[in-house]
Amino acid sequence: MFDDIPVEVGLVHAGERIRKNDMYVEMGGPEIKEKFELVKVRSLDVVQDDAITVIGPDISDMEPGKKYPLGILIEIAGAQLEEDIEGVIERRIHEYANYLEGFMHLNQRYDIWVRLSRKAYNKGFTTLAYFGRVLMRLLKNELPIIERMQITFFTDPEKIPAVYAEARHAYEARDARARGLTDGDVDLFYGCALCQSFAPSHVCVITPQRYANCGAISWFDGRAAARIDPKGPIFPIEKGDCLDTVRGEYTGINESAKKRSLGQVSRVYLYSAFTYPHTSCGCFEGIAFYIPEVEGFGIVMRGYRNVTVNGLPFSTMADSTAGGRQVDGFHGISLEYMRSPKFIAADGGYERIVWMPADLKEQLREFIPGDLIEKIATEKDVTTISDLVTFLTKASHPVIARWKPEEAGTVKDALGASPVFSAGEFPFQAGGFKIILKNARIYADKVTIVPIKPKRPGRGE
């Protein structure tokens, strides 16, 4: 596509994964605390068009196999540009970065993870300026209202903290703006099909009270994107009639889902993780996972490195959740959706949450009803389902009211013999058939765990 870029650039490379053994260097990722990508609209006089700067070691200065911090600051200017567009352009970084052969970009905002393959490096991809040049050309081509653009890459750990703080402040300001609106206040919702290259049946429905799964696009961002780029992947959705105010079902959303998923998804509940939950692509910031033994939900975020209370890590549950499917009880969510009063409201909202990592609980403290804070367990309180049952019972968690007598018996049994595996949906293959166990609880006399070398680095691995 571009003669002056040493690797191929095109949609064909979207979805390419770079395994640890094939990578030349990694930037950002789970082991780097401060990393970000940020787009800011500035005035025309402060943006030097086409300028690309690398502050810190460039790729050619990096040691092969090592991990480096990364900050990407894109500053744009144009008479018609508004701040509302910042979040939308920021999300395009993920899409366009993945057009590069031998270049992998995962996640968004403060969670980015980039890998460059050895093959791409050997082809001459020795500077981040190539990445910058591709971003500039594709973004300007898509949005001609961008008159000037400059990009700064930060790889110097000493220089990142100040810009990282600016980025966190900008994300919070964007998110807070949308918090004043309710879904009933607006006539239009917005849909985003940007992730269909990874998950063909997935469309995010973005409403004031249900933020996009990736946590990067608010209702305001959706409105700005649909206005500026009417043929782009973000589009308006007429609400139509409200069929169910509690679950959040609208005729307009159902029609749009059916059309955009080519018939694979025909009904969507905005505020429930059951029956017709919102689909999950693979970019979700976290997962609300059903724990059948206690009739409640645990929550795990992408960066959480340990196993959760059900014995599974984020990466395993992400595989069960992603792909644009509607999976009962495995629900991809954003951090901002957890701040919404509509957060799985039809399933009980926070009265249904029984476990989450301690640092997430701190982050959400002001959004969790005060009487529930101490009733939600963290990894510091419990590490197994049987401990969780004891914790919830002692804390008089409201979820206990859902334990019917016959289920209470099951829970009691679980205290003596905890399931070694439980899941909302557990698929496996045997004898040429794919078998799916719903709400599975598996007990065993002995468990043998044999590490399997992953074929590719999945999201969050």
The site for ligand SF4 (CB under 6 A) is made up of: 91, 192, 194-195, 204, 212-214, 216-217, 281, 283
In the complex with ligand SF4, the residue whose CB is nearer, 5 or 299, is 299
The torsion defined by the Cα of 335, 340, 191 and 427, in degrees rounded to 10, comes to 60
3-state secondary structure the chain: CCCCCCCCECHHHCCCCCCHHHEEEEEECCCCCCCEEEEEECCHHHCCCCCEEEECCCHHHCCCCCEECCEEEEEEECCCCCHHHHHHHHHHHHHHHCCECCEEEECCHHHCEEEEEHHHHHCCCCCHHHHHHHHHHHHHHHCCCCCEEEEEEECCCCCHHHHHHHHHHHHHHHHHHHCCCCHHHCCEEEEECHHHHCCCCCCEEEECCECCCCCCCCHHHHHHHHHHCCCCCEEEEECCCEEECCCCEEHHHHHHHHHHCCCCCCCCECCCCCCCECCECCCCCEEEEEECCCCEEEEEECCCCCCCCCCCCHHHHHHHHCCCECCCCEEEECCCHHHCCCCCHHHCHHHHEEECCHHHHHHCHHHCCHHHHHHCECCCCCCCHHHHHHHHHHHCCHHHHHCCHHHHHHHHHHHHCCCCEEEEEEEEEECCEEEEEEEEEECCCCCCCCCCCCCCCCCCC
In the complex with ligand SF4, the residue whose CB is nearer, 107 or 308, is 107
Q: How many residues does the chain have?
A: 461
In the complex with ligand SF4, the residue whose CB is nearer, 109 or 375, is 109
Least separation in angstroms between CB 432 and ligand SF4: 35
In the complex with ligand SF4, the residue whose CB is nearer, 281 or 346, is 281
Least separation in angstroms between CB 278 and ligand SF4: 10
Least separation in angstroms between CB 260 and ligand SF4: 10
Structure tokens at 278: 């919102």
Least separation in angstroms between CB 172 and ligand SF4: 18
Least separation in angstroms between CB 195 and ligand SF4: 3
Residue with tokens 């701190």: 362
In the complex with ligand SF4, the residue whose CB is nearer, 73 or 203, is 203
Least separation in angstroms between CB 142 and ligand SF4: 15
| Gap between the Cα atoms of 325 and 202, Å rounded | 7
Residues 6+ apart with CB under 8 A from 383: 309
In the complex with ligand SF4, the residue whose CB is nearer, 112 or 212, is 212
Least separation in angstroms between CB 199 and ligand SF4: 8
Least separation in angstroms between CB 281 and ligand SF4: 5
Least separation in angstroms between CB 14 and ligand SF4: 12
In the complex with ligand SF4, the residue whose CB is nearer, 25 or 143, is 143
| Gap between the Cα atoms of 283 and 106, Å rounded | 8
Least separation in angstroms between CB 192 and ligand SF4: 3
- Report how far Cα 331 is from the mean position of its chain's Cα atoms: 11
| Gap between the Cα atoms of 253 and 280, Å rounded | 15
Least separation in angstroms between CB 460 and ligand SF4: 15
